Chains A and B, each alone.
Chain A
Amino acid sequence: MKLSLNSQSNLFRAVLSILAGFIIVGVLLKMSGYSPLQCYQALAEGATGIRSGKPINLSDRGFYIGSWQGNFSPYTFAQTLATITPLLFCGLAIALGLRAGLFNIGALGQMTLGAMTAAFVGAIGANGSLKPVAGSLPHWAHVPLTLLAGAVAGGLWGALAGYLKAKRGVHEVLSTIMLNYIAINLANYLAMHNLKDPNPSNMAAQTGLIAKSAWLTPIVAQSSLTVGLLLAVAAAVGVAFLLWRTALGYEIRAVGLGAEAARTAGIPVSKILIKTMAMSGALAGVAGALEVMGIHHRFVQGTAGDYGFDGIAVALLGGSHPFGIVLSASFFGALGNGANFMQIQTDVPKTIAVVVQAIIVLLVGLRFRRAESKKPLVLAEEGWKDG
């Protein structure tokens, strides 16, 4: 919608950060006695599903499930796309908050509650037995209903932090961290007690399976890729539309860039803060619902994984722009899934991908700091103009 010079230079800087991240980690790999080139090749194969000409190891089989199309494994590529989905939702959630000047650390909790609520609503019509049943709701109604339930739960959880910020002055970083603990422990408690999987052999903290009518079917056989990815891309377009084509989005950006000026212009700042946190939480909540509906088909302890925090990296690298976030979520998704494959191929632990990610975020943050540290100069300029 709005690709200014600014966002072009953002893109350029993001690419530089990524390159720097790979180079630094490459040096680390070399120092640890690995071949960076081999590692990165394996990473690329795992990320794209495109195999270079060499024969497949037996141990690779696990990652080449499903039918082959030449040198391309649709399954592997589909897993990358599936990883992108929650990253994209969480990245959008955090970016929307950032646009209003809110640092939503609570995507984890919002996603967790979204997942738990989706598991509850998705179970409508399920008889709690081992086998999934068709359920009493039609598929076309049950899927949107379950998604909506996840969005509402995440949204309310986010709105709570927004309310505390707007009306009670509690900093959102503080409240969302605390709300994360409450959400996770609440969900785990429910998964171990009231909503525990009735299967007597089950020892894990998980709920029973949701009704089949709320399942999302994989687009590629056996993979985790569902229609959720399309929803995520649609959400990115929606957030961009909201920010630059609606009065509400205009107000969100005004509050983020100059709350006092926004208030002076008659914009109800506290309402905007609450609404933004609600929408941010709803996006994270949908991510949680999708994990339940498309992958586990139940709430499992740790469903939300690290997506809530990885979303921060996604939002920062994407410059808090929805379309930048599509790119950065794709990148981090590919990195994460590629690392799994790399670990098997090269014995390099997949956590090295986290190191790459950390370095990139640090570099992005470093630029941010540099831009901040230029402020005294701007102030000086103002001092000059008003003098």
Chain B
Amino acid sequence: MNANSPPEYAVRMENITKRFPGVVANQQVALRVQAGAFHAVIGENGAGKSTLLNILYGRYQPDSGRVFLHGQEVTQSLHSPADAIRNGVGMVSQHYALIPALTVLENVLLGAEPTGFGGVLKCRAAITRIHELANQLQIASLDVNQRADTLSIAAQQKVEILKALYRGANILLLDEPTATLAPQEAESLFTLLRNLVEKGTTVLFVTHKLREVMAHSHAVTVLRAGQNAGDFITAETNEAELLHCMIGARLNSAGQPLIPFGDVTETEGYAGDTWAATRPAVSGSPLLQIEGVTVRNSRRVEVVKSATLELMHGEIVGVAGVDGSGQRDLAEAILGLQTVSIGKIFLEGSEITDDTVAQRYQKGVAYIPEDRHRSGMILDFSVTENYTLGHHREANWGGGTLIHPPIMTAHTVAMIQQYDVRISELGALIPARSLSGGNQQKIVVARAIQSAPKLLVACQPTRGLDVEAARFVYRTLEQARREGLGILLFSLDLEEILQLSDRVAVMFNGKIVTVLPTAQATPEEIGAWMTGAKAGGTEA
């Protein structure tokens, strides 16, 4: 803790404990944020960061503990986000809450409409105020009459910030603000936030990206497994120390790790030295060929535009891009979940463009969907039923026209051991809902890999997973690749793509704008392709 300056805290949370059924999200957590500071809260997934922020924003009520804002205790009056806003706290959540069909102006005003006599909306004053704020934020180019659904993700986020400031927030909370941004966009966001801090706003953001913390924050609070793991002044610490603190290396009283780790890259897993670099060169016949594929969504808009891509046996091709650049639609087109309007898809030379989803699975395609809860699992199905989902008509899985639950369960029990899924003895029969995200993902991955596929389409396979579980997924994928599996890896995590892939394809605005060998790709260059700063390219 910083003991030098007088403790003028914008936010002081003491002994916060919050339980959810079966888990303690926060246990006796303390958080002290100096007024006007750029403060980061870091921790692994499930460390309780979001919960803490949501308590501060009034979304959750703590089971015990006290909350002070600018020295005033507000524990008893903080029952809803409305209370938090009244106290000058604004929040930008992970998922933005703009109403697509409303304009920027309407979205900003929503819930805080300035009204005159008889409830008539006083727009003029509001617009002036919004322009002032936009100027301050250096986003004056924003058109307040634009519909929210026409904005990019990054612009939507800025509108969210505008919304919070319009409501008079002097403490701004951001939950994983850069999770869905390209590197350049993230940079621009931090410039904006630094600006705000200089003008006196207190900014508190949650992240698990250490680089951001080191580059931008003044102070850091580390949470681990729902408890305080350390407080640091950014200038007085380094990435390695924070990482050790985050993932549970024991620290002595001086803040030094008791068990020395190697270098940071070792513990992080695969930074620097990529798997791809150690692999033999990929050769042989193409496994998957996508030729000029165009996909239209339900509103007849082209979401994938004439995409062409080739994947060899035993190769991993990463598909990078800003969220919503058409990656999901391309993945679903390969699986047959979306119709290909123009173009063809070949698997080992034979066309599969018009096959059903089930036929593609039979031909050796496997899929790890992006949205685990919606597409990957049926949460109210048992672990067994989830594991056998899609294989329930295959005899060697205990399926067929008549299914054989005992055989299915036996397979599942074997998988639970092989993949180290942490559940009780009865595990195979409990609903998947009761498993943690990491264990759920293990089932989804196991289901895809265990069918001995030729091609795996993996979308965000480690999203929302902690370091341990993510490494397990990487190991599993790498193992399968060694056995000849070709993997098309869709990910928003550029680091993940660079570490795993042999080649990187970048999507921008529905097009594959370039395909680069990973050895020649830098994050900066890929970032430039992702945001459209570089155009043209080899495949477009």
Q: Do A and B bind each other?
A: yes
23 contacts across the A-B interface (CB closer than 8 A): A244-B405, A246-B401, A247-B393, A247-B399, A250-B385, A254-B378, A254-B385, A257-B379, A261-B378, A262-B389, A263-B337, A263-B357, A264-B337, A264-B367, A265-B390, A266-B356, A266-B390, A382-B373, A384-B20, A384-B46, A384-B48, A387-B45, A387-B48
Assess whether B373 is in contact with A268, with CB atoms less than 8 Å apart. Answer: no
| B305 located at the interface, meaning its Cβ lies under 8 Å from any Cβ of chain A in the complex | no
**Residues on B with beta carbons closer than 8 Å to the beta carbon of A253:** 381, 385
- Whole-angstrom distance between the Cβ of B495 and the nearest chain A Cβ: 19
A268 to B377, CA, bound (A): 16
User: Is the C-beta of A70 less than 8 angstroms from some C-beta in chain B?
Assistant: no
Are A245 and B369 neighbours in the complex by a CB distance under 8 Å?
A: no
B386-408 at interface with A (beta carbon < 8 Å): 389-390, 392-393, 399-403, 405
A53 at interface by CB-CB < 8 Å: no
State whether B464 touches A264 (Cβ < 8 A).
Answer: no
* Majority-rule SS of A interface residues: helix
Closest to A263 in B: B337
**Additional A-B contact list (4), CB under 8 Å, known A264-B337, A387-B46, A387-B206:** A258-B381, A261-B377, A264-B390, A383-B54
Whether B50 lies near A383 (C-beta < 8 A) is yes
Interface string of A223-259 (1 = CB under 8 A from B): 0000000000000000000001111101101100110
A246, A268, A381, A382: the one within 8 Å of B403 (CB): A246
A260 part of interface (Cβ distance < 8 Å):
yes
Q: Assuming A246-B401, A247-B403, A251-B392, is B376 touching A384 (CB within 8 A)?
A: no
A385:B437 contact, CB within 8 angstroms: yes
Q: Let me know if A380 is at the binding interface, CB within 8 A.
A: yes
How many contacts between A and B, using CB within 8 angstroms?
Answer: 107
Interface size class of B (residues with CB under 8 A): 35 or more
Known: A247-B403, A268-B356. A385 touches B464 (CB 8 A): yes
Q: Are A254 and B389 in contact (CB under 8 A)?
A: yes
A385 to B436: give the CA distance in the assembly, Å.
7
Across the interface, do B48 and A247 meet the contact criterion of CB distance under 8 Å?
no
For the complex of A and B, 10 pairs with smallest distance between CB atoms: A387-B50, A265-B390, A258-B378, A266-B358, A266-B357, A386-B464, A264-B375, A265-B389, A257-B380, A257-B378
Interfacial chain A residues near B458, Cβ < 8 Å = none
B276 to chain A, nearest CB (A): 28
Q: Please give the distance in Å from A166's CB to the nearest CB on chain B.
A: 15
B260 at interface by CB-CB < 8 Å: no
> Cβ of A377 < 8 Å from any Cβ of B?
yes
Contact of B25 with A by CB under 8 A? yes
Contact B23 A381 (CB under 8 A): yes
B374 within 8 A of A: yes
Kindly state whether residue A124 has any CB partner on chain B within 8 Å.
no
Total A residues in contact with B, Cβ cutoff 8 Å: 31
- Report chain A residues within 8 Å CB of B337: 263-264
Are the CB atoms of B49 and A247 closer together than 8 Å?
Answer: no
Q: Is A145 an interface residue (CB 8 A)?
A: no
CB distance from B84 to the nearest CB of A (A): 16
Q: Which residues of B contact A380 (CB under 8 A)?
A: 20, 60
Instruction: Note all chain A residues with C-beta closer than 8 A to B25.
Output: 384
* Pairwise interchain contact B21-A258, C-beta atoms closer than 8 A: no
Query: Does B412 touch A at the CB level, under 8 Å?
Result: no
B329 located at the interface, meaning its Cβ lies under 8 Å from any Cβ of chain A in the complex? no
Given A254-B381, A380-B20, A247 contacting B402 (CB threshold 8 A): yes
Is B529 interfacial (CB-CB < 8 Å)? no
- The CA of A246 and the CA of B390, in the complex, are separated in Å by 14
Q: Which of A250, A264, A377 counts the most chain B CB atoms within 10 A?
A: A264
Instruction: Determine whether A348 belongs to the interface, using a CB cutoff of 8 Å to chain B.
Output: no
Distance, CA A260 to CA B332, complexed state (A):
12
- Whether a CB of chain B sits under 8 angstroms from the CB of A267 is yes
B361 within 8 A of A: yes
Closest Cβ of chain B to A251, distance in Å, is 7
B60 — which chain A residues lie within 8 A by C-beta?
A: 380
For B54, the chain A residues whose CB sits under 8 A away are: 383
Residue among A253, A258, A266, A268 with the highest chain B CB neighbour number at 10 A: A266
Q: Which residues of A contact B399 (CB under 8 A)?
A: 247
Question: Among the listed A247, A254, A381, A383, which residue makes an inter-chain contact with B21, where contact means beta carbons less than 8 Å apart?
Answer: A381
Contact with A along B353-384 (1 / 0, CB 8 A): 00011101100000101000111111111000
Separation in Å of the B50 CB from the closest CB of chain A? 3
From A244, which residue of chain B is reached at the shortest CB distance?
Answer: B405
Known A-B contacts A254-B389, A377-B21; A387 and B380 likewise in contact (beta carbons under 8 Å): no
Closest residue of chain B to A378 (Cβ to Cβ) is B433
Residues from chain A with a CB closer than 8 A to the CB of B356 are 266, 268
A385 to B23, CA, bound (A): 10
A172 to B371, CA, bound (A): 27
List which B322-341 residues lie within 8 A (CB) of chain A.
335, 337
Could you tell me if B375 and A246 are in contact, using CB atoms closer than 8 angstroms? no
Chain B residue contacts of A257, Cβ below 8 A: 378-381
Nearest to B360 among chain A residues (CB) is A266
Cβ contact of B46, chosen from A248, A254, A385, cutoff 8 A: A385
- Complex Cα–Cα for A4 and B54 (A): 36
Contact with A along B248-261 (1 / 0, CB 8 A): 00000000000000
Given A384-B48, A385-B46, A387-B175 in contact, is the A260-B374 Cβ separation under 8 Å?
Answer: yes
